[in-house]
Structure 1
Amino acid sequence: MLPRLLLLLGVTLSGMTLSGTLAAQERGGLVSGFGMCRPALVLPEKPKIEIENPEVGATDIEADTMETEAPGTPEELTVLTGDVVVSRDEQLMAADEVRYRPNGRQVWARGNVQLWQEGTFLGGDSGTLSLDQEHASMEQLSFIQMQNHAHGTARQASLSGQELIEATDATYTTCAPGEEDWVL
């Protein structure tokens, strides 16, 4: 049953444990399409950002402070600190500190990192984001996937588009927060 479940979810979980109860069944809580749980998830509110360049593919960045190293070279690196918000199309990342390499369109973030991408939210200690490939990874995180009505935690996870593609030492459930009748 477990390999099929993982295939349906499209997620690889390493170092996980399977636990759960029949409490939802016992109280008649079966909901079609969501196993034993009723979904009740809401994405956290995104920070507001003034979009200076609304064209598709443009990156907008806000921060309290900004320093640029090696400007105008392929090694250019912008270091942003304090209430940093990086936005591009359907991607938005907020953090205490961000390092952004415009040449490779890569973002490295640490400190209260939050990422919104096409109905998926990740919040954790540190993370990376590839703006061109819509790929992200994060460490010590919690996540919400609206498409699957799922949420959980992980030591490390990778995201491609809105699909959580790999999670290590993870928990996963479609139950409402605080009412986890089953957890992978």
Structure 2
Amino acid sequence: MKIRAATTDDVDAVIALRIESEAWLHSAGIQQWVDRARGVRNIRDGIAAGNTYVVEHESTVVASLTLAGPDPDFWTDADIPSSALYLYKFMIGSPHRGTGLGSRLLDWACDQARQRQKLWLRLDCWRENKALQRYYMQHGFQHVRTVVVAGRGSGALFQRPVLAPQPSHPLQQASRR
């Protein structure tokens, strides 16, 4: 598997991951990612800004994530937002869920934060998705706090210390196209 910066050629594949993830969440009774138009807009914006990455397996996009700056609705000056890299839109296609790919991608994202001289990898997650919150805690994230922002279902804030380099992982960084 290779990870690389997404290009405009990847927009449809990343949107397809989003739609698949929406369906999976909804089938589990989790009403997360219900505004598809906003999600598609965020995907396009992340790719255009160069913040979105895709994982390819046999020339097929099987996962995606975005690494960017803080969401000011959640992270305050007291959090020292510049001390972290922020993870968004972390999606893995169903054939690759449960394979350890998520763990490897979280390690890769921490490595990206470390390379950018950050102390933390941070994320905000859906307040009602307790299973996802447990997943992140099992992968070294600490719950910072949960905030409620009008019109936002997200707000469970987590961070993982970047620390020392992790053991090498089998994701290969591909050069930008």
Larger Rg: 1
Structure number with the higher helix fraction is 2
Per the normalisation by structure 1, the TM-score is 0.29
Per the normalisation by structure 2, the TM-score is 0.29
